[in-house]
Amino acid sequence: MQKKAILALADGTHFEGIAVGHGDYTVGEVVFNTAMTGYQEVLSDPSYAEQLITFTYPHIGNVGTNAADFEADKVYAKGFILRELPTAPSSWRAQQSFVQFIEDYNLLGIAEIDTRALVHHLRLHGAQAGCILAEGDVVTAVAKARAWGDMQGRSLIDAVATHKTYAWQESLHKASNPTLVVVDFGVKQGILRCLAAQNCNVMVVSPQSTAEDILKLQPQGIVLSNGPGDPAACLDAIKTVQTLLTKKIPLFGICLGHQLLALALGAKTMKMKQGHHGVNHPVQDVVTKRVFITSQNHGFAVDEATLPADVRVTHRSLFDNTLQGFSHETLPLLAFQGHPEASPGPHDSDILFKQFIKLINAGSVQHA
């Protein structure tokens, strides 16, 4: 028997629908994702920790789920919001249905609501706390949403990252390959696969690792991964990056890693109104004027006006002109706000992995 459910936002707005999955209620920041595909990758992306994801595409669950499309070892999103109830999967790759998938991971969602109206509201008023409540009342749901607070000031990396050092299983680990150390702030497996595809030995370390711990692995390059939460709240990570910058080892910051690099250089970050979540975001290389269609997932951005004078802007969003990438006049670093591994999404910007290898080999970033 289908259970009724309520989605309530902290500002009192609410929607009534049908509960999908497991649990009585769930709370988090309500955001929207515009991707037409890749719902399994989205839900298992650690960067979505503490968030309720509104899928703008109406048909979610059509291709089921499978073991190959996970971005982490479990689902990290707190819940999901759908226009229509999932149907039976139709794909040769499907190993289980979407409904079975979310029940296995104890995830609660809501379906049969007007997601267009919800997204319009979030665009006007911004991402905010929300509660999905199964078989409850609006007053209770709104109270739970308001009690959650907001994303600013929250450091979430320790809750989603590894607590040990390990070698990525798909790396060849040949003595002749460069060793890359990936600092895991909530890393997606797609990033590790792309680095391994560049014939690198990939070692993954925890966000609690000190600069000394990282340097003991003798890396030729260091990657600062994606991750959830407020970058300015990751104080220990920022200090570690500041120390690494003094060692002149090539650094590549992706998403949260991009923001941590900027903070370590003295810039500031800011909370965005609704963030960038989707796979259709145009980003321009400011030098070559080439436009990339990119995969994005972030609710904070680097304030370009606060960048030091020796930082060179490399990429900007063509949606809102926010900073999407930078390099440095004297330090060997590359930073990109989007997701070049594109899981899911277009592969236009995967050339950045090759640029990082060129940075390691030649000490300078070569534009495509």
The residues annotated with a catalytic role in the active site are: 255, 339, 341
Closest-CA residue to 278 (of 293, 297, 292, 301): 297
Determine the Cα–Cα distance for residues 240 and 311; give it in Å rounded to an integer: 19
Closest-CA residue to 132 (of 113, 117, 155): 113
Using alpha carbons, list the distances in angstroms from residue 192 to 110, 136, 197: 32, 42, 9
3-state secondary structure 278-324: EEEEEEEECCCCCEEEEEEEEEEEECHHHCCCCEEEEEEECCCCCEE
Q: Which amino acid is located at 297 in the chain?
A: N
Overall size of the chain counted in residues: 368
Quote the strand ranges of the chain, DSSP E.
Answer: 4-9, 14-21, 25-33, 51-55, 79-81, 108-111, 128-134, 166-167, 179-183, 201-205, 221-224, 251-254, 269-285, 291-302, 311-317, 323-328, 333-336
- Cβ atoms < 10 Å from Cβ of 57: 18
Pairing of strands 323-328, 311-317: antiparallel
CB 340 within 8 A of CB 350: yes
Q: How many CA atoms lie within 13 A of 4 on its CB side?
A: 7
Determine the Cα–Cα distance for residues 244 and 55; give it in Å rounded to an integer: 38
